[in-house]
Each structure stands twice: as C-alpha cells, then as structure tokens.
C-alpha cells in the first residue's frame, strides 16, 4: 500500500467517488480506516451525520475497519462490535465532531427496530459520525449520502474493500 489512503480516498467523503482497495491483514484494514478517519476530521461538516454503511460476510473486516476508523478519529477506548448492545457511542475530541456511533444491525429483523433507537436523531446531527455494520439489513433508512463500504474475501488472507 504505497499511496496514502488520506490522499487517495479523502475525496470519497465529499464527492461520493467510487474506489476499492485490497488489504492483506486486519492491521492493514485498520490502517486504511484510520487514515480515512483522519481525513474525515479535516472535511467540512454536512447537513447531517457522516454515515458509513458497511456490508459484507461475517469476518470480512467490518469491525476491524470501525476499530481503525475510531483510532483515526481519536477514540482511545477499545472498540468492540456492539452485536448485543446494537448501538455504542464514543466521545470524540475533535473540533468538528462530538460522537462516533458504532451500530451493529446483525440481530435486527427490520429497519423499524433501529428507528426505535433514536436513529433519526443520530443521523440528523452533523456533530456525529456513524458506522453501521450490516447496513444492508436496514437499507431503507440509510441516508442517501452515506458512504457504502463493501467487504469481501479475496485470495488467502486478502480482503477487498469497495467504497461507493
């Protein structure tokens, strides 16, 4: 990975540019996401939250990505998938943003369940950054300007990460 994700993909946040990258380990996936998190902190605010809609099979790298993203955003806590909590928030020390929400929709059966967890307020607040694992399960309520990130297995230990 010779090119910095910061320079290569920071435009994704602002311009909905499509792109993809391959990683060869969980630490490399975390580094990619960390750089993207750093780029977000330098981007101008939107009308609502910055939303990352993550989809992919079990073990494809979604949680590793969120862990790296959190590091890039300055989160000091250990970030684990909130599978049983569904929603977990982390305070950010950034000027532009106040909270990172990590949401895991794996156990949800309908979008209505997420709406009951203050979803509209979370995504409506421009001070929030939201990472939604299993976002395809609640696709009807994901904001239209969300950055969709698909994770898939490649050869051996590689993961393909596609941004759109």
Domains of the chain: 5-163 (3.40.50.300)
Predicted local distance difference test score (pLDDT) of residue 15: 53
pLDDT tens digit sequence for 36-60? 999 998 888 889 999 999 999 988 8
Cα separation of 71 and 24, whole Å?
19
CA proximity to 144, closest of 134, 155, 153, 135: 135
CA proximity to 129, closest of 160, 77, 94, 104: 94
Q: What percent of the chain has pLDDT above 90?
A: 61
pLDDT tens digit sequence for 62-89? 999 999 999 999 999 989 888 778 999 9
Parallel, antiparallel, or unpaired: how do β-strands 159-163 and 19-23 relate? antiparallel
Residue 164 has pLDDT above 90, yes or no: no
Query: In which band, very low, low, confident or very high, does the pLDDT at 8 lie, cut at 50, 70 and 90?
Result: very low
Residue 57 in 3-state DSSP? coil
Predicted local distance difference test score (pLDDT) of residue 11: 54
Residue 95 has pLDDT above 70, yes or no: yes
pLDDT tens digit sequence for 122-162? 999 999 999 999 999 999 999 999 999 999 987 777 888 98
**Main-chain phi, psi angles of 51, to 5 degrees:** -120, 125
Predicted local distance difference test score (pLDDT) of residue 158: 84
């Amino acid at each position: 990975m010779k090119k910095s994700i910061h320079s290569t993909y920071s435009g994704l946040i602002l311009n909905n540019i499509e792109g993809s990258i391959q990683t060869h380990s969980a630490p490399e996936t975390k580094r990619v996401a960390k750089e993207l998190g750093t780029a977000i902190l330098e981007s101008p605010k939107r009308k609502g939250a910055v939303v990352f809609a993550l989809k992919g099979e079990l073990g494809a790298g979604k949680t590793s990505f969120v862990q790296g993203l959190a590091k890039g955003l300055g989160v000091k806590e250990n970030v684990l998938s909130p599978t049983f909590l569904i929603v977990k928030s982390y305070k950010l020390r950034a000027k532009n943003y106040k909270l990172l929400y990590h949401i895991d929709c794996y156990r949800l059966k309908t979008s209505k369940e997420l709406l009951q967890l203050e979803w509209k307020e979370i995504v409506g607040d421009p001070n929030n950054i939201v990472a939604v694992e299993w976002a395809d399960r609640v696709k009807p309520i994901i904001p239209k300007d969300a950055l969709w990130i698909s994770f898939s297995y490649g050869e051996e230990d590689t993961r393909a990460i596609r941004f759109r």
